[in-house]
Structure 1
Amino acid sequence: MKTDDSKNKQSLQELIDTKDFVEHISVDCAIFGFDEGIMKVLLLKYHDLDLWSLPGGFVFNDEDLDDAASRVLYERTLLKDVFLSQFHTFGKIDRTENNVHRILLKNKAIEVSKDHWIFQRFITVGYCSLIDFTLVDSFPGALNETIAWFEVNKLPKMAFDHEEIIQRGLEHIRKDIDTQIVASKLLPEKFTMKELQTVYETVLGEELRRNNFQRKILALNTLERLEKFYDGSANKAPYLYRFADKK
Protein backbone atom coordinates (compact mmCIF):
# COMPACT_ATOMS: atom_id res chain seq x y z
CA MET A 1 0.00 0.00 0.00
CA LYS A 2 1.32 3.42 -0.94
CA THR A 3 2.00 5.96 1.79
CA ASP A 4 0.47 9.43 1.69
CA ASP A 5 3.88 10.82 0.74
CA SER A 6 4.31 8.45 -2.21
CA LYS A 7 0.76 9.14 -3.38
CA ASN A 8 1.47 12.85 -3.22
CA LYS A 9 4.68 12.41 -5.22
CA GLN A 10 2.81 10.42 -7.86
CA SER A 11 0.07 13.08 -8.09
CA LEU A 12 2.68 15.82 -8.42
CA GLN A 13 4.52 13.87 -11.09
CA GLU A 14 1.29 13.37 -13.05
CA LEU A 15 0.57 17.10 -12.82
CA ILE A 16 3.89 18.26 -14.23
CA ASP A 17 3.77 15.60 -16.97
CA THR A 18 0.44 16.95 -18.22
CA LYS A 19 0.66 18.68 -21.60
CA ASP A 20 -3.02 19.63 -21.88
CA PHE A 21 -2.86 22.96 -20.05
CA VAL A 22 -3.06 26.41 -21.63
CA GLU A 23 0.42 27.92 -21.42
CA HIS A 24 1.07 30.75 -18.94
CA ILE A 25 -2.55 31.04 -17.72
CA SER A 26 -3.96 30.01 -14.34
CA VAL A 27 -6.98 30.76 -12.16
CA ASP A 28 -7.05 31.57 -8.45
CA CYS A 29 -10.16 31.63 -6.28
CA ALA A 30 -10.52 33.94 -3.29
CA ILE A 31 -13.29 32.15 -1.40
CA PHE A 32 -14.72 34.22 1.44
CA GLY A 33 -17.05 33.28 4.27
CA PHE A 34 -17.64 34.48 7.79
CA ASP A 35 -17.82 32.94 11.22
CA GLU A 36 -19.30 34.74 14.23
CA GLY A 37 -19.01 38.13 12.58
CA ILE A 38 -15.47 37.66 11.25
CA MET A 39 -14.62 37.59 7.53
CA LYS A 40 -12.42 34.67 6.54
CA VAL A 41 -10.75 33.34 3.41
CA LEU A 42 -10.06 29.72 2.47
CA LEU A 43 -6.35 28.87 2.10
CA LEU A 44 -4.21 25.83 1.35
CA LYS A 45 -0.80 24.96 2.82
CA TYR A 46 1.89 23.49 0.60
CA HIS A 47 3.47 20.16 1.49
CA ASP A 48 6.63 20.50 3.60
CA LEU A 49 6.52 24.31 3.41
CA ASP A 50 5.31 26.95 5.85
CA LEU A 51 3.57 28.72 2.99
CA TRP A 52 -0.08 29.15 2.08
CA SER A 53 -1.95 29.91 -1.13
CA LEU A 54 -5.41 30.40 -2.57
CA PRO A 55 -7.19 27.45 -4.17
CA GLY A 56 -6.04 27.69 -7.74
CA GLY A 57 -5.00 25.69 -10.73
CA PHE A 58 -4.27 25.51 -14.41
CA VAL A 59 -6.67 25.72 -17.34
CA PHE A 60 -7.14 22.79 -19.70
CA ASN A 61 -6.92 23.47 -23.43
CA ASP A 62 -10.55 22.48 -23.96
CA GLU A 63 -11.87 24.40 -20.94
CA ASP A 64 -13.38 27.88 -20.57
CA LEU A 65 -11.92 30.11 -17.85
CA ASP A 66 -15.18 30.17 -15.90
CA ASP A 67 -15.38 26.39 -16.06
CA ALA A 68 -11.80 26.11 -14.83
CA ALA A 69 -12.58 28.31 -11.82
CA SER A 70 -15.67 26.25 -11.00
CA ARG A 71 -13.67 23.02 -11.30
CA VAL A 72 -10.94 24.31 -8.98
CA LEU A 73 -13.56 25.37 -6.45
CA TYR A 74 -15.21 21.94 -6.59
CA GLU A 75 -11.89 20.11 -6.24
CA ARG A 76 -11.08 22.09 -3.10
CA THR A 77 -14.51 22.31 -1.45
CA LEU A 78 -16.91 19.85 -3.15
CA LEU A 79 -19.25 22.81 -3.72
CA LYS A 80 -21.13 22.99 -7.02
CA ASP A 81 -23.10 25.78 -8.70
CA VAL A 82 -21.45 28.49 -6.62
CA PHE A 83 -21.70 32.10 -7.84
CA LEU A 84 -18.20 33.18 -8.91
CA SER A 85 -17.13 36.66 -10.00
CA GLN A 86 -14.14 37.21 -12.26
CA PHE A 87 -12.68 40.37 -10.75
CA HIS A 88 -9.11 41.03 -11.91
CA THR A 89 -6.19 39.71 -13.94
CA PHE A 90 -2.81 39.62 -12.20
CA GLY A 91 0.12 39.91 -14.56
CA LYS A 92 3.10 41.57 -12.89
CA ILE A 93 6.27 40.31 -14.51
CA ASP A 94 7.74 39.21 -11.18
CA ARG A 95 4.58 37.75 -9.60
CA THR A 96 5.88 34.15 -9.70
CA GLU A 97 9.55 34.81 -8.94
CA ASN A 98 9.21 33.13 -5.55
CA ASN A 99 8.27 29.97 -7.40
CA VAL A 100 7.50 27.43 -4.69
CA HIS A 101 7.16 24.69 -7.29
CA ARG A 102 10.96 24.43 -7.54
CA ILE A 103 11.20 23.71 -3.80
CA LEU A 104 8.31 21.26 -3.87
CA LEU A 105 9.80 19.27 -6.72
CA LYS A 106 13.24 19.28 -5.12
CA ASN A 107 11.79 18.02 -1.82
CA LYS A 108 10.08 15.17 -3.67
CA ALA A 109 13.21 14.39 -5.69
CA ILE A 110 11.39 15.02 -8.95
CA GLU A 111 13.71 16.28 -11.68
CA VAL A 112 12.43 18.47 -14.51
CA SER A 113 14.13 20.78 -16.99
CA LYS A 114 14.80 24.39 -16.00
CA ASP A 115 12.53 25.61 -18.80
CA HIS A 116 9.59 23.40 -17.80
CA TRP A 117 6.21 25.12 -18.16
CA ILE A 118 5.54 25.01 -14.41
CA PHE A 119 8.52 27.34 -13.80
CA GLN A 120 7.57 29.87 -16.45
CA ARG A 121 5.74 33.15 -16.06
CA PHE A 122 2.02 32.81 -15.30
CA ILE A 123 -0.76 35.37 -15.60
CA THR A 124 -3.62 34.46 -13.30
CA VAL A 125 -7.29 35.34 -13.52
CA GLY A 126 -8.83 36.04 -10.12
CA TYR A 127 -12.29 34.84 -9.13
CA CYS A 128 -14.04 35.46 -5.84
CA SER A 129 -17.00 33.98 -4.07
CA LEU A 130 -18.91 34.65 -0.86
CA ILE A 131 -20.22 31.40 0.63
CA ASP A 132 -21.55 29.83 3.80
CA PHE A 133 -18.30 28.44 5.20
CA THR A 134 -20.13 25.84 7.31
CA LEU A 135 -21.11 24.03 4.10
CA VAL A 136 -17.53 23.54 2.94
CA ASP A 137 -16.21 19.99 3.08
CA SER A 138 -12.70 20.94 2.04
CA PHE A 139 -9.79 18.69 1.27
CA PRO A 140 -6.25 19.29 -0.03
CA GLY A 141 -5.03 18.78 -3.57
CA ALA A 142 -1.86 17.27 -5.03
CA LEU A 143 0.36 20.17 -3.97
CA ASN A 144 -1.15 20.77 -0.55
CA GLU A 145 -1.39 19.04 2.82
CA THR A 146 -3.72 21.31 4.79
CA ILE A 147 -6.69 23.55 4.03
CA ALA A 148 -8.15 26.02 6.52
CA TRP A 149 -10.03 29.29 6.99
CA PHE A 150 -8.08 32.41 8.02
CA GLU A 151 -9.24 35.84 9.09
CA VAL A 152 -8.68 38.27 6.22
CA ASN A 153 -6.75 40.58 8.56
CA LYS A 154 -4.58 37.78 10.00
CA LEU A 155 -3.13 35.99 7.01
CA PRO A 156 -0.23 33.53 7.26
CA LYS A 157 2.83 33.73 4.99
CA MET A 158 1.47 33.68 1.44
CA ALA A 159 2.90 32.32 -1.81
CA PHE A 160 3.30 34.43 -4.92
CA ASP A 161 1.08 37.55 -4.92
CA HIS A 162 -1.87 35.84 -3.27
CA GLU A 163 -2.13 38.37 -0.45
CA GLU A 164 -2.76 41.06 -3.07
CA ILE A 165 -5.33 38.82 -4.77
CA ILE A 166 -7.16 38.39 -1.46
CA GLN A 167 -7.30 42.13 -0.83
CA ARG A 168 -8.48 42.85 -4.39
CA GLY A 169 -11.09 40.12 -4.09
CA LEU A 170 -12.36 41.50 -0.80
CA GLU A 171 -12.64 44.96 -2.36
CA HIS A 172 -14.67 43.48 -5.22
CA ILE A 173 -16.99 41.62 -2.83
CA ARG A 174 -17.64 44.85 -0.96
CA LYS A 175 -18.25 46.94 -4.08
CA ASP A 176 -20.64 44.32 -5.47
CA ILE A 177 -22.11 43.49 -2.08
CA ASP A 178 -25.80 43.60 -3.07
CA THR A 179 -25.33 40.97 -5.78
CA GLN A 180 -22.94 38.94 -3.65
CA ILE A 181 -25.32 38.75 -0.70
CA VAL A 182 -28.23 37.60 -2.89
CA ALA A 183 -26.10 34.88 -4.49
CA SER A 184 -24.12 33.77 -1.42
CA LYS A 185 -26.83 31.72 0.36
CA LEU A 186 -25.59 33.06 3.69
CA LEU A 187 -29.14 33.59 4.90
CA PRO A 188 -32.08 31.22 5.33
CA GLU A 189 -34.92 31.53 2.84
CA LYS A 190 -36.79 33.79 5.28
CA PHE A 191 -34.87 36.32 7.37
CA THR A 192 -35.33 39.52 9.35
CA MET A 193 -33.93 42.89 8.36
CA LYS A 194 -31.61 42.69 11.38
CA GLU A 195 -30.16 39.40 10.15
CA LEU A 196 -29.57 40.89 6.72
CA GLN A 197 -27.91 43.95 8.23
CA THR A 198 -25.59 41.72 10.26
CA VAL A 199 -24.39 40.06 7.06
CA TYR A 200 -23.75 43.42 5.41
CA GLU A 201 -21.87 44.72 8.45
CA THR A 202 -19.69 41.63 8.59
CA VAL A 203 -18.75 41.80 4.91
CA LEU A 204 -18.17 45.56 4.94
CA GLY A 205 -16.38 45.52 8.29
CA GLU A 206 -18.36 48.47 9.67
CA GLU A 207 -21.51 49.27 11.61
CA LEU A 208 -24.51 50.65 9.71
CA ARG A 209 -27.35 52.85 10.91
CA ARG A 210 -30.51 50.75 11.06
CA ASN A 211 -32.89 53.27 9.47
CA ASN A 212 -30.49 54.22 6.69
CA PHE A 213 -29.74 50.58 5.95
CA GLN A 214 -33.40 49.59 5.78
CA ARG A 215 -34.21 52.53 3.51
CA LYS A 216 -31.35 51.65 1.15
CA ILE A 217 -32.19 47.96 0.99
CA LEU A 218 -35.90 48.45 0.37
CA ALA A 219 -35.10 50.92 -2.42
CA LEU A 220 -33.29 48.12 -4.28
CA ASN A 221 -36.60 46.27 -4.73
CA THR A 222 -34.87 42.92 -4.25
CA LEU A 223 -36.86 41.89 -1.16
CA GLU A 224 -40.34 40.51 -0.69
CA ARG A 225 -41.92 41.29 2.69
CA LEU A 226 -43.64 38.34 4.37
CA GLU A 227 -45.38 37.72 7.67
CA LYS A 228 -44.14 38.99 11.03
CA PHE A 229 -41.74 36.91 13.07
CA TYR A 230 -43.08 36.16 16.56
CA ASP A 231 -40.52 34.69 18.95
CA GLY A 232 -42.49 35.06 22.18
CA SER A 233 -40.52 38.04 23.46
CA ALA A 234 -42.01 41.37 24.53
CA ASN A 235 -40.24 43.18 21.70
CA LYS A 236 -42.09 44.38 18.63
CA ALA A 237 -42.27 41.55 16.12
CA PRO A 238 -40.15 42.26 13.02
CA TYR A 239 -41.20 41.38 9.50
CA LEU A 240 -39.65 38.46 7.69
CA TYR A 241 -38.27 38.95 4.18
CA ARG A 242 -36.94 36.86 1.35
CA PHE A 243 -35.18 37.73 -1.84
CA ALA A 244 -37.73 38.42 -4.56
CA ASP A 245 -36.34 35.81 -6.94
CA LYS A 246 -36.58 33.05 -4.31
CA LYS A 247 -39.78 31.00 -4.20
Structure 2
Amino acid sequence: MKTDHNKSIESLKELIDSKNLIPNVSVDCTIFGFHDNILKVLLLKYHDLNLYSLPGGFVFIDEDLRAAAERVLYERTHLKGLFLEQFHTFGRVNRTENNVHKTLINNKGLDVPMDHWILQRFITVGYCSLIDFSLADTFPDAFNESCAWFEVNKLPEMAFDHDRIIAEGLNHLRKNIDTQIAASNLLPEKFTMKDLQCLYETILGEKLRRNNFQRKILSTNSLERMEKLYDGSANKAPYLYRFIKN
Protein backbone atom coordinates (compact mmCIF):
# COMPACT_ATOMS: atom_id res chain seq x y z
CA MET A 1 0.00 0.00 0.00
CA LYS A 2 1.38 3.44 -0.95
CA THR A 3 2.25 5.78 1.89
CA ASP A 4 0.70 9.24 2.15
CA HIS A 5 4.17 10.64 1.45
CA ASN A 6 4.42 8.79 -1.87
CA LYS A 7 0.89 9.78 -2.83
CA SER A 8 1.74 13.40 -2.09
CA ILE A 9 4.84 13.28 -4.30
CA GLU A 10 2.94 11.66 -7.18
CA SER A 11 0.10 14.19 -6.94
CA LEU A 12 2.57 17.07 -6.90
CA LYS A 13 4.36 15.70 -9.96
CA GLU A 14 1.04 15.38 -11.81
CA LEU A 15 0.21 18.98 -10.94
CA ILE A 16 3.59 20.29 -12.08
CA ASP A 17 3.49 18.36 -15.36
CA SER A 18 -0.14 19.16 -16.17
CA LYS A 19 -0.79 21.00 -19.46
CA ASN A 20 -4.52 21.35 -18.77
CA LEU A 21 -4.42 24.11 -16.15
CA ILE A 22 -4.56 27.89 -16.55
CA PRO A 23 -1.30 29.33 -15.19
CA ASN A 24 -1.36 31.95 -12.42
CA VAL A 25 -5.11 31.73 -11.70
CA SER A 26 -6.75 29.90 -8.79
CA VAL A 27 -9.95 29.76 -6.75
CA ASP A 28 -10.23 29.72 -2.95
CA CYS A 29 -13.37 28.92 -0.99
CA THR A 30 -14.27 30.30 2.42
CA ILE A 31 -16.63 27.58 3.62
CA PHE A 32 -18.47 28.85 6.69
CA GLY A 33 -20.40 26.69 9.13
CA PHE A 34 -22.33 27.55 12.32
CA HIS A 35 -22.04 25.22 15.32
CA ASP A 36 -22.76 25.72 19.05
CA ASN A 37 -23.27 29.45 18.41
CA ILE A 38 -19.78 29.71 16.90
CA LEU A 39 -19.03 30.68 13.30
CA LYS A 40 -16.37 28.41 11.86
CA VAL A 41 -14.40 28.12 8.63
CA LEU A 42 -13.08 24.96 6.99
CA LEU A 43 -9.27 24.79 6.73
CA LEU A 44 -6.68 22.34 5.43
CA LYS A 45 -3.29 21.51 6.94
CA TYR A 46 -0.41 20.81 4.59
CA HIS A 47 1.67 17.65 4.90
CA ASP A 48 4.96 18.29 6.76
CA LEU A 49 4.14 22.00 7.26
CA ASN A 50 2.61 23.78 10.23
CA LEU A 51 0.50 25.90 7.88
CA TYR A 52 -3.18 25.93 7.07
CA SER A 53 -5.04 27.10 3.98
CA LEU A 54 -8.50 27.51 2.56
CA PRO A 55 -9.80 24.79 0.27
CA GLY A 56 -8.72 25.92 -3.14
CA GLY A 57 -7.35 24.78 -6.44
CA PHE A 58 -6.34 25.58 -9.97
CA VAL A 59 -8.65 26.03 -12.93
CA PHE A 60 -8.70 23.71 -15.93
CA ILE A 61 -8.43 25.25 -19.38
CA ASP A 62 -11.93 24.10 -20.33
CA GLU A 63 -13.52 24.91 -16.94
CA ASP A 64 -15.54 27.93 -15.82
CA LEU A 65 -14.35 29.68 -12.66
CA ARG A 66 -17.56 28.82 -10.84
CA ALA A 67 -17.30 25.20 -11.93
CA ALA A 68 -13.79 25.08 -10.47
CA ALA A 69 -15.08 26.46 -7.16
CA GLU A 70 -17.95 23.95 -7.14
CA ARG A 71 -15.48 21.14 -7.77
CA VAL A 72 -13.27 22.26 -4.88
CA LEU A 73 -16.33 22.53 -2.62
CA TYR A 74 -17.51 19.03 -3.49
CA GLU A 75 -14.04 17.54 -3.00
CA ARG A 76 -14.01 18.89 0.58
CA THR A 77 -17.60 18.24 1.69
CA HIS A 78 -19.13 15.76 -0.80
CA LEU A 79 -22.18 18.02 -0.83
CA LYS A 80 -23.78 19.40 -3.99
CA GLY A 81 -26.13 22.28 -4.70
CA LEU A 82 -24.65 24.44 -1.92
CA PHE A 83 -24.82 28.21 -1.76
CA LEU A 84 -21.72 29.57 -3.50
CA GLU A 85 -21.00 33.20 -4.35
CA GLN A 86 -17.97 35.00 -5.77
CA PHE A 87 -17.08 37.89 -3.47
CA HIS A 88 -13.60 39.26 -4.25
CA THR A 89 -10.50 38.90 -6.43
CA PHE A 90 -7.14 38.90 -4.65
CA GLY A 91 -4.23 40.15 -6.71
CA ARG A 92 -1.69 41.89 -4.52
CA VAL A 93 1.80 41.52 -5.94
CA ASN A 94 3.18 39.97 -2.76
CA ARG A 95 0.24 37.70 -1.89
CA THR A 96 2.17 34.50 -2.75
CA GLU A 97 5.62 35.48 -1.54
CA ASN A 98 5.49 32.71 1.07
CA ASN A 99 4.93 30.20 -1.73
CA VAL A 100 3.85 26.94 -0.11
CA HIS A 101 4.22 25.09 -3.40
CA LYS A 102 7.91 26.01 -3.51
CA THR A 103 8.38 24.68 0.03
CA LEU A 104 6.53 21.46 -0.77
CA ILE A 105 8.58 20.96 -3.95
CA ASN A 106 11.82 21.48 -2.04
CA ASN A 107 10.74 19.12 0.74
CA LYS A 108 9.92 16.39 -1.79
CA GLY A 109 13.27 16.84 -3.54
CA LEU A 110 11.69 17.61 -6.90
CA ASP A 111 13.56 19.55 -9.58
CA VAL A 112 11.36 22.34 -10.94
CA PRO A 113 12.61 25.32 -13.01
CA MET A 114 12.30 28.65 -11.21
CA ASP A 115 10.25 30.06 -14.09
CA HIS A 116 7.61 27.32 -13.79
CA TRP A 117 4.11 28.78 -13.41
CA ILE A 118 3.50 27.03 -10.10
CA LEU A 119 6.28 29.11 -8.50
CA GLN A 120 5.09 32.43 -9.90
CA ARG A 121 2.59 35.04 -8.80
CA PHE A 122 -1.04 33.94 -8.55
CA ILE A 123 -4.31 35.85 -8.72
CA THR A 124 -7.08 34.05 -6.88
CA VAL A 125 -10.85 34.48 -7.01
CA GLY A 126 -12.59 34.14 -3.65
CA TYR A 127 -15.87 32.27 -3.30
CA CYS A 128 -18.02 32.19 -0.19
CA SER A 129 -20.00 29.09 0.75
CA LEU A 130 -22.39 28.61 3.67
CA ILE A 131 -23.34 25.16 4.88
CA ASP A 132 -25.33 23.55 7.66
CA PHE A 133 -22.52 22.26 9.89
CA SER A 134 -24.50 19.14 10.81
CA LEU A 135 -24.63 17.96 7.19
CA ALA A 136 -20.95 18.22 6.38
CA ASP A 137 -18.22 15.65 6.51
CA THR A 138 -14.73 16.79 5.57
CA PHE A 139 -12.18 15.20 3.27
CA PRO A 140 -8.44 15.95 3.00
CA ASP A 141 -6.41 15.01 -0.09
CA ALA A 142 -2.87 13.95 -0.99
CA PHE A 143 -1.48 17.42 -0.22
CA ASN A 144 -3.23 17.79 3.13
CA GLU A 145 -3.09 15.63 6.22
CA SER A 146 -6.21 17.09 7.83
CA CYS A 147 -9.36 19.02 7.02
CA ALA A 148 -10.98 20.65 10.05
CA TRP A 149 -13.18 23.50 11.28
CA PHE A 150 -11.72 26.52 13.08
CA GLU A 151 -13.36 29.50 14.77
CA VAL A 152 -13.10 32.53 12.50
CA ASN A 153 -11.52 34.59 15.29
CA LYS A 154 -9.06 31.86 16.36
CA LEU A 155 -7.23 31.01 13.16
CA PRO A 156 -3.97 29.04 13.05
CA GLU A 157 -0.97 30.23 11.01
CA MET A 158 -2.21 30.64 7.44
CA ALA A 159 -0.50 30.16 4.10
CA PHE A 160 -0.40 32.87 1.44
CA ASP A 161 -2.90 35.67 2.25
CA HIS A 162 -5.68 33.31 3.30
CA ASP A 163 -6.26 35.12 6.59
CA ARG A 164 -7.15 38.21 4.53
CA ILE A 165 -9.44 36.15 2.28
CA ILE A 166 -11.30 34.87 5.36
CA ALA A 167 -11.64 38.41 6.71
CA GLU A 168 -13.06 39.61 3.38
CA GLY A 169 -15.40 36.62 3.25
CA LEU A 170 -16.70 37.42 6.73
CA ASN A 171 -17.17 41.07 5.76
CA HIS A 172 -19.18 39.93 2.71
CA LEU A 173 -21.31 37.74 4.97
CA ARG A 174 -22.02 40.63 7.33
CA LYS A 175 -23.04 42.93 4.50
CA ASN A 176 -25.48 40.38 3.10
CA ILE A 177 -26.88 38.80 6.25
CA ASP A 178 -30.30 40.41 5.77
CA THR A 179 -30.85 38.69 2.44
CA GLN A 180 -31.89 35.50 4.35
CA ILE A 181 -29.25 33.58 2.34
CA ALA A 182 -26.84 33.47 5.27
CA ALA A 183 -29.30 32.21 7.84
CA SER A 184 -31.10 29.78 5.53
CA ASN A 185 -27.84 28.04 4.63
CA LEU A 186 -26.18 28.07 8.05
CA LEU A 187 -29.14 26.87 10.14
CA PRO A 188 -31.07 23.58 10.04
CA GLU A 189 -34.39 23.64 8.18
CA LYS A 190 -36.33 24.31 11.42
CA PHE A 191 -35.03 26.68 14.10
CA THR A 192 -36.21 28.90 16.93
CA MET A 193 -36.17 32.68 16.88
CA LYS A 194 -33.43 32.49 19.52
CA ASP A 195 -31.32 30.31 17.19
CA LEU A 196 -31.71 32.88 14.43
CA GLN A 197 -30.83 35.77 16.72
CA CYS A 198 -27.72 33.92 17.98
CA LEU A 199 -26.60 33.46 14.39
CA TYR A 200 -27.03 37.16 13.62
CA GLU A 201 -25.19 38.17 16.80
CA THR A 202 -22.31 35.80 16.06
CA ILE A 203 -21.83 37.02 12.50
CA LEU A 204 -22.25 40.71 13.34
CA GLY A 205 -20.23 40.49 16.55
CA GLU A 206 -22.77 42.44 18.60
CA LYS A 207 -25.75 41.88 20.88
CA LEU A 208 -29.24 42.62 19.57
CA ARG A 209 -32.40 43.51 21.48
CA ARG A 210 -34.74 40.51 21.36
CA ASN A 211 -38.00 42.40 20.71
CA ASN A 212 -36.46 44.67 18.07
CA PHE A 213 -34.83 41.73 16.32
CA GLN A 214 -38.01 39.64 16.28
CA ARG A 215 -40.08 42.56 15.00
CA LYS A 216 -37.57 43.27 12.22
CA ILE A 217 -37.31 39.63 11.11
CA LEU A 218 -41.06 38.99 11.11
CA SER A 219 -41.66 42.17 9.10
CA THR A 220 -39.71 40.64 6.19
CA ASN A 221 -42.42 37.96 5.76
CA SER A 222 -39.69 35.44 4.98
CA LEU A 223 -40.47 33.01 7.84
CA GLU A 224 -43.16 30.39 8.29
CA ARG A 225 -44.14 29.61 11.87
CA MET A 226 -44.26 25.90 12.64
CA GLU A 227 -45.09 23.81 15.70
CA LYS A 228 -43.77 24.56 19.18
CA LEU A 229 -40.52 23.02 20.40
CA TYR A 230 -41.28 20.96 23.51
CA ASP A 231 -38.09 19.85 25.24
CA GLY A 232 -39.50 18.85 28.64
CA SER A 233 -38.24 21.94 30.45
CA ALA A 234 -40.38 24.18 32.62
CA ASN A 235 -39.78 27.14 30.30
CA LYS A 236 -42.38 28.28 27.83
CA ALA A 237 -42.01 26.30 24.62
CA PRO A 238 -40.79 28.46 21.72
CA TYR A 239 -42.13 28.22 18.20
CA LEU A 240 -40.07 26.70 15.43
CA TYR A 241 -39.68 28.58 12.17
CA ARG A 242 -38.41 27.88 8.69
CA PHE A 243 -37.66 30.10 5.73
CA ILE A 244 -40.30 30.38 3.04
CA LYS A 245 -38.82 29.12 -0.19
CA ASN A 246 -39.15 31.50 -3.09
The answer to whether the aligner puts 1:66 opposite 2:62 as a matched pair is: no
CA-to-partner distance for each residue in 1:98-131, whole Å, 9 max, x for gaps? Answer: 1111110111111111111101111100011222
| Distance (whole Å) between structure 1 residues aligned to residue 136 and residue 190 of structure 2 | 22
User: What residue is the counterpart of 1:122 in the other structure?
Assistant: 122
| Distance (whole Å) between structure 1 residues aligned to residue 49 and residue 112 of structure 2 | 20
CA drift of 1:136 comes to: 2.2
Q: Which structure 2 residues correspond to residues 43-54 of structure 1 after superposition, within 5 A?
A: 43-54=43-54
The answer to whether the aligner puts 1:181 opposite 2:178 as a matched pair is: no
Q: Is the CA contact (8 Å cut-off) linking 1:228 and 1:237 kept in structure 2?
A: yes
CA-to-partner distance for each residue in 1:8-39, whole Å, 9 max, x for gaps? Answer: 11111111111111222110001111332222
Corresponding residue SS for 1:30: strand
| Distance (whole Å) between structure 1 residues aligned to residue 19 and residue 39 of structure 2 | 38
The answer to whether the aligner puts 1:29 opposite 2:29 as a matched pair is: yes
User: What residue is the counterpart of 1:142 in the other structure?
Assistant: 142
**Which deviates more, 43-52 or 223-232?**
223-232
The answer to whether the aligner puts 1:79 opposite 2:79 as a matched pair is: yes
User: What residue is the counterpart of 1:94 in the other structure?
Assistant: 94
| Distance (whole Å) between structure 1 residues aligned to residue 82 and residue 74 of structure 2 | 9
> Which consecutive unaligned segments of at least 5 residues does structure 1 have?
none
CA drift of 1:172 comes to: 0.8
| Distance (whole Å) between structure 2 residues aligned to residue 195 and residue 182 of structure 1 | 10
CA drift of 1:234 comes to: 4.8
Corresponding residue SS for 1:84: strand
**Aligned AA for 2:41?**
V
Q: Is the CA contact (8 Å cut-off) linking 1:130 and 1:173 kept in structure 2?
A: no
The verdict on how the C-alpha distance between 1:141 and 1:201 changes in structure 2, with shifts beyond 3 A counting, is: same
**Aligned AA for 2:2?**
K
Q: Is the CA contact (8 Å cut-off) linking 2:230 and 2:237 kept in structure 1?
A: yes
**Aligned AA for 1:181?**
A
CA-to-partner distance for each residue in 1:173-204, whole Å, 9 max, x for gaps? Answer: 111113333441522x3332122212222222
> Which consecutive unaligned segments of at least 5 residues does structure 2 have?
none
**Aligned AA for 2:225?**
R
The verdict on how the C-alpha distance between 1:244 and 1:32 changes in structure 2, with shifts beyond 3 A counting, is: same
Q: Is the CA contact (8 Å cut-off) linking 1:86 and 1:127 kept in structure 2?
A: yes
CA drift of 1:65 comes to: 1.0
Q: Is the CA contact (8 Å cut-off) linking 1:101 and 1:118 kept in structure 2?
A: yes
**Aligned AA for 2:153?**
N
| Distance (whole Å) between structure 1 residues aligned to residue 186 and residue 154 of structure 2 | 25
User: What residue is the counterpart of 1:239 in the other structure?
Assistant: 239
CA drift of 1:233 comes to: 4.7
| Distance (whole Å) between structure 1 residues aligned to residue 23 and residue 44 of structure 2 | 23
- Number of aligned residue pairs: give it: 245
Instruction: Give the TM-score, by structure 1 length.
Output: 0.92
The verdict on how the C-alpha distance between 1:75 and 1:221 changes in structure 2, with shifts beyond 3 A counting, is: same
**Aligned AA for 1:58?**
F
The answer to whether the aligner puts 1:202 opposite 2:202 as a matched pair is: yes
| Distance (whole Å) between structure 1 residues aligned to residue 240 and residue 39 of structure 2 | 25
The verdict on how the C-alpha distance between 1:231 and 1:153 changes in structure 2, with shifts beyond 3 A counting, is: closer
CA drift of 1:244 comes to: 1.0
User: What residue is the counterpart of 1:171 in the other structure?
Assistant: 171
| Distance (whole Å) between structure 2 residues aligned to residue 54 and residue 190 of structure 1 | 29
The verdict on how the C-alpha distance between 1:201 and 1:27 changes in structure 2, with shifts beyond 3 A counting, is: same
| Distance (whole Å) between structure 2 residues aligned to residue 133 and residue 228 of structure 1 | 23
Q: Is the CA contact (8 Å cut-off) linking 1:31 and 1:42 kept in structure 2?
A: yes
Q: Is the CA contact (8 Å cut-off) linking 2:33 and 2:186 kept in structure 1?
A: no
| Distance (whole Å) between structure 1 residues aligned to residue 137 and residue 192 of structure 2 | 28
